[in-house]
Amino acid sequence: MTAISTEPIGSIPRPAYLQEAMQAFQKSEIKENELSDLFARATRETILQLEATGSPVLSDGEQSKPSFATYAVAGSSNLAPGGVIIPFADGHTRQLPKLVSGPFRYQHFASEYLKEARNYTSLPVKQAVISASAMSLLYPSEGIEGYSQQQFISDLLDQAEADIRRCLDAGAYNVQIDFTEARLALKLDPSKGLLSQFIDLNNQVLDRFTPEQQSRIGVHTCPGGDHDSTHSADIPYSELLPLFFKLHAGNFYLEYAGEKDKISVLESIRENINPNQKIFLGVIDVLNPRIETPEEVRDLLIQASEYIPVAQLGSTDDCGFSPFADDISTAREIAFEKIKVRVQGTKLAGAKI
């Protein structure tokens, strides 16, 4: 039997009581300490339910993260509305804030969520952080008087490094950089200039870590997922992966279950990976409410093993189940069932291979 690694991506839809409490807090109907208590309760319940799925690696489910993309700057006094707009295929948009003055500093570090989660389990806990490239989009195109883009980038690199390093120091099993803007960069700039800039920026952060530390750092990419829609599913992996695998990380988490032409994805992976990179393929479609079967997961991984060395192959979900704090599109119970199937199917694949 071959053991195939399996890990979650991150977010889990919040329980109804927490959704209601967050709305009540916004209306000043409950106090901050009351909301904090419910965040802790939901995190503990999420950890226990993830353990019940048999998952060997856990996450905190992002129960208290305001957003995977902006948690680090939530509450910052030098941000304003009106930043970069992210369009999705169904017509809805998400808009980032924009920086209006320097210096750029994180208000929250992902290690805060990690430390809370580790209170409730003895199993390994991974932690997701936002990419430096995503945070770079906060600097406005018109610039900021008295705060150059060069100084901003210098500050950003320091903050992004600190976010990862604090997680490693706090005992993270590994750290996953969310780089969901990778395919979007190709959509915005087909010349690959923007993507190349993003890769370079993220590598400037990764190069601050030792090879051993880099082996515990991974990068997640997908075509974006929000309200069961995507922002860049029309961009083929064959355009992304030759540059994507130039990132100086050890683990790569790829959306895959939702891909229509899976063979071309596998061929592109085979052509571009190196022996030091481990590929976690998404075997669960988080945008589809149908619960896969363990056999379907098994078959996806067996097919993938024909293109990816088994020692470099792992499984994951296509994305988080509620990355932009969308707790409604996917039922919480369905998310846990899908994760359970991923774990079971991965074991079946290992036994078959």
**What is the pTM assigned to this prediction?**
0.95
How is residue 159 written in tokens? 């903050």
**How crowded is the C-beta side of 323, counted as CA atoms within 13 Å?**
27
Instruction: Check if the beta carbon of residue 318 is closer than 8 Å to that of residue 287.
Output: yes
Residues of the chain predicted below pLDDT 70: none
> What is the C-alpha separation between 266 and 305, in angstroms, rounded?
9
For residue 324, the model assigns a pLDDT of: 77
Distances (CA, A) of 296 to 2, 85, 287, 306, 350: 18, 36, 16, 16, 14
> What is the C-alpha separation between 307 and 246, in angstroms, rounded?
19
SS3 string, 39-69, reads: HHHHHHHHHHHHHHCCCCCECCCCCCCCCCC
Domains and CATH numbers, the chain: 5-352 (3.20.20.210)
For residue 337, the model assigns a pLDDT of: 98
pLDDT per position as a tens digit, 216-251: 999 999 988 787 888 888 989 999 999 999 999 999
